[in-house]
Amino acid sequence: MPAPEVPEKPSIDGLEEKWGSRWEADGTYRFDRTKTRAEIFSIDTPPPTVSGSLHVGHVFSYTHTDAVARFQRMRGREVFYPMGWDDNGLPTERRVQNYFGVRCDPTLPYDPSFVPPAKPQSPPVAVSRPNFVELCVRLTVDDEKTFEDLWRRLGLSVDWGMTYTTIGPEAQRASQRGFLHLLTAGRAYQKVAPTLWDVDFQTAIAQAELEDRELAGAYHRIRFGGPDGTAIEIDTTRPELIPACVALVAHPDDERYKPLFGSRAQTPLFGVSVPIVAHPLAEPEKGTGVAMICTFGDVTDVTWWRELQLETRTIVGRDGRIQADPPEGVEPSPAWAELTGKKMEPARGRIVELLRESGDLVGDPRPITHAVKFFEKGNKPLEILSSRQWFIHTLDNQERLLERGRALHWHPPYMRARFESWVSGLNTDWLISRQRFFGVPFPLWYGLSDDGSIRYDAAIVPDESRLPVDPSTDVPDGYSPDQRDQPGGFTGEPDVMDTWATSSLTPQIAGRWTDDPDLFARVFPMDVRPQAHEIIRTWLFSTVVRSDLEHDALPWTDAAISGWVLDPDRKKMAKSKGNALTPIGLLDQYGSDAVRYWAASGRPGVDTAFDEGQMKVGRRLAIKLLNASKFVLSRLELPPAEPDGDAGDVTAPLDRAMLAGLASLVDEATTAFEGYDYARALERTETFFWGFCDDYLELVKGRAYGGQGEAAAASANRALMLALSTMLRLFAPFLPFVTEEVWSWWKDGSVHRATWPLAVELRGPAGATADPVVLEMAAAVLGGVRKAKTVAQVSMRAEVARVVVSDNAERLAALAGAADDVRDAGRIAELVTEEADQPSVIVGLAPQA
């Protein structure tokens, strides 16, 4: 073996570039697809939203996954670790509209020669959906490059030959194929129903995308005309919906209103006669005990409307304004004329004035703050509108999904509660259609009647071999292009699938379900889905649903849930603007290993404070590792430098004690990693390493230099090499750069393809004894000596005349095994032991010069 090439002044700076390009050139992380499912560890990597900003939250959670991936690779599993880019959906759409100055019009045909304006223009240029999608793809290529650069810099051990996008052809094929299967199986259906509607984006929104926000509002007490001429007062936060009122409701047992059930009331201002009905959801304590039911003010209105079979009076349009014509049953009136065309807030203000003038407002509005439902990406309160949408049946499947959730291994286990509460609380089927453009189109056309009306019951589906199709441009088999939108012809389904309808298939997309069934069979069901806890109800849930329906299986055996990064104010960093530092800056400042160290010390599922102090500690650890390695490896020039010896060559009790401790560490770290507790593995390894440096290294130094003869030196050097080799491998999943650097000084190949250490390699031949107390006692005496020198304010080199160690016979005997090392390390002239009940170390310093 050639002597190790140890740099004179090792440094961690520049290791990212050096090893990043080496790993790429050597294909260190390349996936070997000839391996079988049992040999493979497959990861359903979260595809980051590329149009979003990079922030430390990304670095945090992806480091966790990478540490596990590296561990599994070293354990001998072939790691399937692809990277996806989520370019599908609203964030990209918004950016493209602004960047190019275009808007999508799905009724336009594809223009292959379209070139976007050099500068964004106003009004924006209308383009077809395929053209719009092309622009989205064009813009996201740069975003994806930015992310890839960050990931490479961070040292993610991804196979960069395996990337996918959620809008790419493979994703489109998988989404459309999956949808067609659901359609055939009767699990997907469309219907006209009240749905949550975002008036800015003008699209339907799913239950999973809801977010409650506290908003200022007010209770308005309003007088309706009762059946016998007396007034009925109700409280409402949405007086502008009076023209949409279809009934008044009270609790069936409410004695105050029992006599009124079955009779009718008159709405104020509009004089519409509405029934007074009873329903148990009406709460007697709330307001006056009577509520007005509108179509639709909130989801309770929908329940009442459905269960009581009430009329429909729609007044809000898709753009969020009061529509032009009054609904059926409401006569045109001056009051209506005042409201029409207004958005909700102005309409509310105006109707309050009108009610005040007419005397139907009782008292003043009483301001309150209340929770209002928003689209999580939206800015205006959601309305509820009736529209035609596509759904996937989930309500009839809750028990089965809960069973899937129980079969999945959650890390940490308590995260399962979020899945269960979500599944248990489902109140609508999964709404997958969106009235947007940059998404996967539904692979559907509809026949048109001779009068030109759309025959929704006559859906035309393509053959799977044609996928992906865009019905706005492609023509169904058996039709010609000129039959589009003509009576007796066909029309394309204009909607696209929601982004979660595609993301729910990431295992299928990454595993190339449609294009490469052989690969898919080797990686699916996958081993792990790493993801954040906030999207359990969306991404995790929907993936389980799709895998259940398509494959009758869980998509993975394990779910590793990561926490958030919190800023010092305990806010989620990614969410509050301006406080997300750029990850590249941090990687520059501290080094990738140091930032990874901080990330990896955040335990699974736990929200973790952003802490640059931890990055400094990580940096110091990396430097320490270099220096300690330098010391250990520079000893190899001394004989005997036999590299392939084993623990049997280690004879000194102190060395054996150290290796015994290391063997326990290996077991503990392995167990922790197998349970996805990377943070524990790191913490234990780090603790051992510092103890190794502070005590063992100091104790063994003189002997390793040959101070006690060649045989004694050989034992020390063998133990040092074994320990270093082991610790480098234990650290490798966390600190890939510095460990690779050191490994390269004396070993061939990458540490990241080296085998994970085994405790048995360190325990030596059967029958060999190792007493951990030897190291413990030696360290205790050395500590006592150091303390005495510090108290005396003298150098650690200062000579010690005499040390008296008191302890029981057994421990003193253990110390005897390392007595020479202790004398050497402490510069002790005379080491005396005395049996005693109370352990103590009494240090007598030599007179100082």
720 token code pair: 């040092």
Segment interacting with RNA, rule: CB under 7 A, options 88-96, 358-366, 546-554, 689-697: 689-697
Smallest distance from RNA to CB 364, Å: 16
Cβ count within 10 A of residue 59: 24
Smallest distance from RNA to CB 144, Å: 28
Asked if residue 281 binds RNA (CB under 7 A), the reply is yes
Report the residue number, 108 or 798, with the smaller CB distance to RNA.
798
Interface positions, 518-547, toward RNA (CB under 7 A): 533-534, 537
825 with 786: CB under 8 angstroms?
A: no
Instruction: Say what angle helices 56-74 and 678-691 make with each other, to 10 degrees.
Output: 80
Q: How far is C-alpha 748 from the geometric centre of its chain's CA atoms?
A: 36
Asked if residue 378 binds RNA (CB under 7 A), the reply is no
- Bridge partners (DSSP) listed for residue 276: 248
Cβ count within 10 A of residue 405: 22
The conformation of residue 237, written as its DSSP 8-state character, comes to S
Asked if residue 697 binds RNA (CB under 7 A), the reply is yes
User: Position 447: which residue type?
Assistant: G
693 token code pair: 């440096």
Report the residue number, 134 or 534, with the smaller CB distance to RNA.
534
Asked if residue 613 binds RNA (CB under 7 A), the reply is yes
Among 26, 111, 149, 212, binds RNA (CB under 7 A): 212
Asked if residue 808 binds RNA (CB under 7 A), the reply is no
Asked if residue 816 binds RNA (CB under 7 A), the reply is no
> Helix, strand, or coil here: 21?
helix
Asked if residue 181 binds RNA (CB under 7 A), the reply is no
Report the residue number, 358 or 424, with the smaller CB distance to RNA.
424
Segment interacting with RNA, rule: CB under 7 A, options 66-74, 90-98, 113-121, 567-575: 567-575
Smallest distance from RNA to CB 630, Å: 5
Asked if residue 427 binds RNA (CB under 7 A), the reply is yes
Segment interacting with RNA, rule: CB under 7 A, options 45-53, 129-137, 419-427, 809-817: 419-427
Among 795, 837, 848, 849, binds RNA (CB under 7 A): 795
Interface positions, 451-470, toward RNA (CB under 7 A): none
Interface positions, 380-409, toward RNA (CB under 7 A): none
Segment interacting with RNA, rule: CB under 7 A, options 178-186, 187-195, 444-452, 679-687: 679-687
Asked if residue 623 binds RNA (CB under 7 A), the reply is yes
Between the CA of residue 799 and those of 390, 718, 784, 786, 829, what are the distances in Å? 84, 29, 14, 11, 8
Segment interacting with RNA, rule: CB under 7 A, options 124-132, 341-349, 600-608, 653-661: 600-608
Interface positions, 569-598, toward RNA (CB under 7 A): 570, 572
Across 525-676, where does the E strand assignment appear? 526-532, 556-562, 565-566, 608-609
Segment interacting with RNA, rule: CB under 7 A, options 87-95, 443-451, 551-559, 780-788: 780-788
- Distance, CA of 173 to CA of 443 (rounded, Å): 10
Asked if residue 425 binds RNA (CB under 7 A), the reply is yes
- Bridge partners (DSSP) listed for residue 361: 222
Report the residue number, 161 or 568, with the smaller CB distance to RNA.
568
12 token code pair: 């961690």
Among 110, 631, 772, 804, binds RNA (CB under 7 A): 631
Smallest distance from RNA to CB 835, Å: 17
Report the residue number, 287 or 645, with the smaller CB distance to RNA.
287
Tally of residues, the chain: 849
Cβ count within 10 A of residue 659: 27
Asked if residue 694 binds RNA (CB under 7 A), the reply is yes
Between the CA of residue 612 and those of 586, 598, 738, what are the distances in Å? 9, 8, 19
Asked if residue 641 binds RNA (CB under 7 A), the reply is no
161 token code pair: 């030959």
Asked if residue 139 binds RNA (CB under 7 A), the reply is no
333 with 405: CB under 8 angstroms?
A: no
Report the residue number, 26 or 283, with the smaller CB distance to RNA.
283
Report the residue number, 56 or 234, with the smaller CB distance to RNA.
234
- Distance, CA of 398 to CA of 422 (rounded, Å): 10
- Distance, CA of 613 to CA of 598 (rounded, Å): 9
Segment interacting with RNA, rule: CB under 7 A, options 135-143, 637-645, 716-724, 795-803: 795-803
Asked if residue 417 binds RNA (CB under 7 A), the reply is yes
Q: Between 287 and 316, how does the x/- string for binding to RNA read (CB under 7 A)?
A: x-xxxx----xxxx--x-------------
Among 693, 754, 804, 816, binds RNA (CB under 7 A): 693
Interface positions, 230-249, toward RNA (CB under 7 A): 234-238, 249
Asked if residue 769 binds RNA (CB under 7 A), the reply is no
Interface positions, 335-374, toward RNA (CB under 7 A): 370-371
Smallest distance from RNA to CB 405, Å: 13
Among 421, 480, 557, 840, binds RNA (CB under 7 A): 421
Q: Token pair 């007074």 is at which residue?
A: 276
> Helix, strand, or coil here: 385?
strand
Sign of the torsion angle spanned by Cα atoms 376, 377, 379, 384: negative
Report the residue number, 44 or 240, with the smaller CB distance to RNA.
240
Asked if residue 422 binds RNA (CB under 7 A), the reply is yes
Among 137, 426, 581, 804, binds RNA (CB under 7 A): 426
Asked if residue 601 binds RNA (CB under 7 A), the reply is yes
Report the residue number, 84 or 297, with the smaller CB distance to RNA.
297
Kind and range of the H or E element at 767? none
- Distance, CA of 488 to CA of 784 (rounded, Å): 97
- The number of residues that bind RNA (CB under 7 A) is 83
Among 343, 400, 630, 747, binds RNA (CB under 7 A): 630
Of 455, 492, 456, which Cα lies nearest the Cα of 473? 492
- Preceding peptide of 169 cis, ω within 30°: no
**Which residues have C-beta within 8 Å of that of residue 420, sequence separation ≥ 6?**
402, 405
Asked if residue 783 binds RNA (CB under 7 A), the reply is yes
> Helix, strand, or coil here: 642?
coil
303 with 276: CB under 8 angstroms?
A: no
Asked if residue 609 binds RNA (CB under 7 A), the reply is yes
Segment interacting with RNA, rule: CB under 7 A, options 44-52, 56-64, 620-628, 807-815: 620-628
Asked if residue 624 binds RNA (CB under 7 A), the reply is yes
Asked if residue 472 binds RNA (CB under 7 A), the reply is no
Among 551, 616, 747, 802, binds RNA (CB under 7 A): 616
672 token code pair: 């922790």
Asked if residue 628 binds RNA (CB under 7 A), the reply is yes
Segment interacting with RNA, rule: CB under 7 A, options 65-73, 167-175, 793-801, 806-814: 793-801
Residue 477 zone, left/alpha/beta (φ > 0; ψ -120 to 50; rest): beta
Kind and range of the H or E element at 85? strand 83-85
- Distance, CA of 417 to CA of 67 (rounded, Å): 26
Smallest distance from RNA to CB 787, Å: 4
The alpha helices in 155-197, defined as continuous H runs, are 169-184
- Distance, CA of 388 to CA of 258 (rounded, Å): 38
DSSP string of 489-548?
SEEE---EE-HHHHHTTHHHHHTTTTT-HHHHHHH-SEEEEEEEGGGIIIIIHHHHHHHH
Of 157, 137, 139, 167, which Cα lies nearest the Cα of 83? 157
Interface positions, 659-678, toward RNA (CB under 7 A): none
Report the residue number, 466 or 616, with the smaller CB distance to RNA.
616
Segment interacting with RNA, rule: CB under 7 A, options 186-194, 207-215, 391-399, 553-561: 207-215
